[in-house]
Structure 1
Amino acid sequence: MAYQQNQYVSQQPMPTMGMQASGGNRNALNRPLDSNGKRGWSHGLCGCFDECGTWCCACWCPCVVHGKNKQRLRHLTDKGTPDPTGGDCCSGACWGHCMLNVVAGLGCILACMNRGDARSRYNIDGGCCGDCCASWCCHSCDLTQVSREIELEEKSFGQRY
């Protein structure tokens, strides 16, 4: 039996004619990857003040920002393109967040789950515990950070949505 050497691939294959990429650039700011292929968030949790409009809406109407984030992320995942509407204000995710927040003050649970979905899509390092802490301790900053991450991918398509 002959000894067989492992061949290592140093680069991922490039798309060829006829292939379609699913989605836009998921690391638009070219954040460095760690040894596990994970990266950090493109904007820090406290960078929410750089996007005052989204942050203010997340403070006073977190259900709207959550609903939009959920719908925009789902559209990118399912269709591979940005949602042309930018996410509806009164979606089921918005109402679910609103009811959970009004009845029990626990809207951050749904935001935590959506944060985990965004982390998974963008290969962002972290875990459920960190997602829960961010959503519970600074709900509006969490919603803004997720929104900004989605926006970077949407902008990478080169079209205004």
Structure 2
Amino acid sequence: MTIIQGGGGNRNAKNLPVKDGKRGWSNGLFSCGDDVGLCLLAWCLPCLAYGQIRSRYKHLSSHGTPHPTGGDMCSGDCCVHAITAACGIACLLQCQSRGEVRGRYNIEGGGCGDCCTTLCCTPCDLVQESQELELEEKSFGGAVGVKH
């Protein structure tokens, strides 16, 4: 297991090939894996999935450790996502979030691709981001309390 100095766990847990300092996503865009709960949450209540992802991301970024409870679903981020979803522009929030996750893990891509992904497949984007965070969280060795 590789721990990166400055906080955080293994940011390339699947040891994917790195080219020019960047790598691909650890899981495909349409890869729910065996986490059906996460997929259902992302499809049925994307604001809750988004809130939890933001909570986990912020905790990893600020504390260098996984969120102790698996992330807060009902939060300001969740409310903002719900409001922007009602206006049809939640993809803009998700585009920013996807870019931040991509940056944390040195994943190849750019803003245009992020926007297209979040606009065309909101739930799949949420699942992919969550899975990326979970890989780092699991690299700490303890049980991750992610609840869906």
State TM-score, norm by structure 1.
0.84
Counterpart residue identity of residue 64, structure 2: G
**Structure 1 residues 22-33: aligned runs within 5 Å:** 22-33=7-18
Matched, 1:144 2:127: yes
The code of the aligned residue for 1:27 comes to N
In structure 1, distance between residues paired with 2:125 and 2:110: 14
**1:3 paired residue number:** none
How far is 1:49 from its partner?
5.2
Deviations 1:114-135 (A, max 9, x none): 0000000000000000100110
Shift of 1:140: 0.3
Contact between 2:55 and 2:73, CA under 8 Å: does it hold in 1? Answer: no
Tell me how large the CA RMSD over aligned residues is: 1.6
Return the offset for 1:85. Answer: 1.4
CA displacement 1:121-161 (0-9 Å, x = unmatched): 00000000010011000000000000000000000000013
d(CA) in 1 for partners of 2:121 and 2:84?
17
Q: Residue 9 of structure 1 corresponds to which residue in structure 2?
A: none
Give the equivalent residue in structure 2 for 1:81. 65
Q: Quick check: 1:49–1:55 contact (8 Å CA) kept in 2?
A: no
* The one of 84, 87, 93 aligned to 1:110: 93
Using the size of structure 2 for normalisation, the TM-score is 0.91
- Kindly state the Cα deviation for residue 46 of structure 1 after the two structures are TM-superposed: 1.0
Query: Percent sequence identity over matched residues?
Result: 52
- Alignment-derived partner of residue 51 in structure 2: 67
Aligned twin of 1:37: 21
Tell me whether 1:98 sits opposite 2:82 in the alignment.
yes
Q: Which aligned runs of 4 or more in structure 1 are off by greater than 3 angstroms?
A: none
Q: What's the counterpart of residue 130 of structure 1?
A: 113
What SS does the aligned partner of 2:127 have?
helix
- Separation in 2, partners of 1:49, 1:97: 25
Structure number, greater radius of gyration: 1
Amino acid at match of 2:107: I
**Mapped partners of 1:126, 1:51: distance in 2:** 25
Aligned length: 142
Gaps of 5+ in 2: none
